[in-house]
Structure 1
Amino acid sequence: MQFGICHLSIVPLRSEASDKSELVSQVLYGEHFKVLEQRKNWSKIRLAFDRYEGWIDNKQFLLISEEQYKNLEQQELELSGDLVEFVTKDDTQELLTIPLGSSISGNAILDFSYDGQIMGGIRPKDKIIETAYMYMNSPYMWGGKTPFGIDCSGFTQMVYKLNGYKLFRDASQQAKQGEALSFIEESEAGDLAFFDNDEGNIVHVGIMMSDNYIIHAHGKVRIDRIDHSGIFNVDTKKHSHKLRVIKKVI
């Protein structure tokens, strides 16, 4: 078994070993992982944080030792708390821009220094919406995890991650976490709302706010109304998503 760490800002994680393959997620600076299979140009990896799997270009990560991987697993996760910041390579003073939610825990391995805001540990539930606002107007991008492009479950996962909580990567996986609520009235700001399609598959997720509002990624990270039917788009004046369940994870 081999192990790796991402030493670049935002690296695509693809469904197959090809640049033309579907973007299923992204690997942010400092994220570490297991290398499950290595080919000439691509490697299949499993991220340590959420065990999500995909293919990454061999030129876009560094191999690390098993001991370094285990040390990272034992450290408390420290994440960059600014929309955009930079790390400085200690020996050459080169700069590398990093997005919100990048991991600073592996800077000693990567030989970089960071002086920006750090978010770590478990924060109170009332910080969830405050963090969600940092992604406002981020464009929707399938597989995205940053303010420069993010999908619905990437948004919820990163907001929770920045507050010290673990969510799985995809909406259908996240829907299996937490405790189901019977009514919208039982929910509180920071709970997760899930939405299904005509076949009954979970296809969307957002974060509940107070007073029957929801913040979610749909076209962009936006705030809409929510009722017992689902999300009511404040621009189109139509329902855009059908409510399936609200879950209390925290």
Structure 2
Amino acid sequence: MLYGICNLSIVPLRSEPSDASEMVSQILFGEHFTVLEKTKKWSKVQVHFDEYEGYIDNKQYQEIDKELFDQLSTSEYHYSSEILDYVTDQKNHLSTIPMGSRLPFYQDQKFSLGQNEYSYEGRVFQGKLEKSEIVRKAFLFLNTPYLWGGKTPFGIDCSGFTQMVYKICGHSLLRDAKDQATQGEVLSFIEESEPGDLAFFDNEEGVITHVGIIMTDYYIIHAHGKVRIDLLDHSGIYNTDTKTHTHKLRVIKKII
């Protein structure tokens, strides 16, 4: 079995081994994964954090051994907290990183990726934050443009948004909305919800296709065109700009 770690800022994870294939997610700096298959140009990988699978270019990651993979899987998680920042390697080369990048084995502004040592002087998210922090951290992504498969403040999709907000608060969500909907405890009414709970929405076929984070006073923050704030009622999401309902409510889940 082969293993790898992302040593670039943002690497596209594709549905098929082709540069023209759909981007289904992204792997951020510091994230590690199992290599399931490897050809001359492409690797099929499974991301450790959420077990999501897809293809990445062989030139866009660094191979690691099983011992390091296991250490990464069990060590404490530290994440960069700035919307955009940089890290410096031993040769004083700069690499930009987006918010939510992992800083493996971080201590005293130093961390490592395999044999490579880095410095990072920005603020760090670590440990499990209080539930009240979820909405506060969600505001860091406000007005981020919608991007299918995106996970950063420069482009994000609905489930990437909820996953990243929970991630920097120290909690794990699966990658897609329909899978996130399998987590947590079902709430019967909006009135039972608290800020930080998740609301899920389905399409005409009954498939869950959208998710957002519940706020106070029946508001919801979600990625739809951009990360925006709308009203939530028993029917679904009421767009405050178009004055129409845009998403049909399916279920509310208490994750933490």
Distance across 1 between alignment mates of 2:211 and 2:170:
19
Q: Which residue of 1 aligns with 2:108?
A: none
Sequence identity percentage: 61
Distance across 2 between alignment mates of 1:72 and 1:196:
36
Q: Secondary structure at the match of 1:189?
A: coil
Distance across 2 between alignment mates of 1:63 and 1:231:
44
Q: Secondary structure at the match of 2:238?
A: strand
Give yes or no for the alignment of 1:214 onto 2:214: no
Q: Which residue of 2 aligns with 1:53?
A: 53
1:1-250 aligned within 5 A: 1-90=1-90, 92-105=91-104, 107-108=111-112, 109=114, 110-250=116-256
Equivalent AA in structure 2 for residue 153 of structure 1: S
Q: Output the aligned Cα RMSD.
A: 0.7
Tell me how far 1:115 sits from its aligned partner: 1.1
Bigger shift: residues 185-194 or 104-113: 104-113
Distance across 1 between alignment mates of 2:170 and 2:204:
34
Number of aligned pairs? 249
Distance across 2 between alignment mates of 1:103 and 1:175:
25
Distance across 1 between alignment mates of 2:25 and 2:2:
21
Distance across 2 between alignment mates of 1:145 and 1:111:
25
Q: Secondary structure at the match of 2:250?
A: strand
Distance across 2 between alignment mates of 1:152 and 1:165:
17
Equivalent AA in structure 2 for residue 202 of structure 1: I
Q: TM-score, normalization: structure 1?
A: 0.99
Tell me how far 1:113 sits from its aligned partner: 1.3
1:57-88 Cα deviation digits (max 9, x unpaired): 00000000111111111111110011111000
Q: Secondary structure at the match of 2:149?
A: coil
Distance across 1 between alignment mates of 2:223 and 2:21:
23
In structure 2, the gaps of 5 or more residues are: 106-110
Distance across 1 between alignment mates of 2:71 and 2:214:
36
Tell me how far 1:111 sits from its aligned partner: 2.1
Distance across 1 between alignment mates of 2:119 and 2:149:
28
Distance across 2 between alignment mates of 1:113 and 1:14:
30
Bigger shift: residues 102-111 or 239-248: 102-111
Distance across 2 between alignment mates of 1:36 and 1:135:
32
Equivalent AA in structure 2 for residue 82 of structure 1: E
1:7-54 Cα deviation digits (max 9, x unpaired): 000000000000000100000000000000000000000001000000
Q: TM-score, normalization: structure 2?
A: 0.96
Distance across 1 between alignment mates of 2:25 and 2:127:
24
Distance across 1 between alignment mates of 2:7 and 2:222:
29
Distance across 2 between alignment mates of 1:237 and 1:190:
25
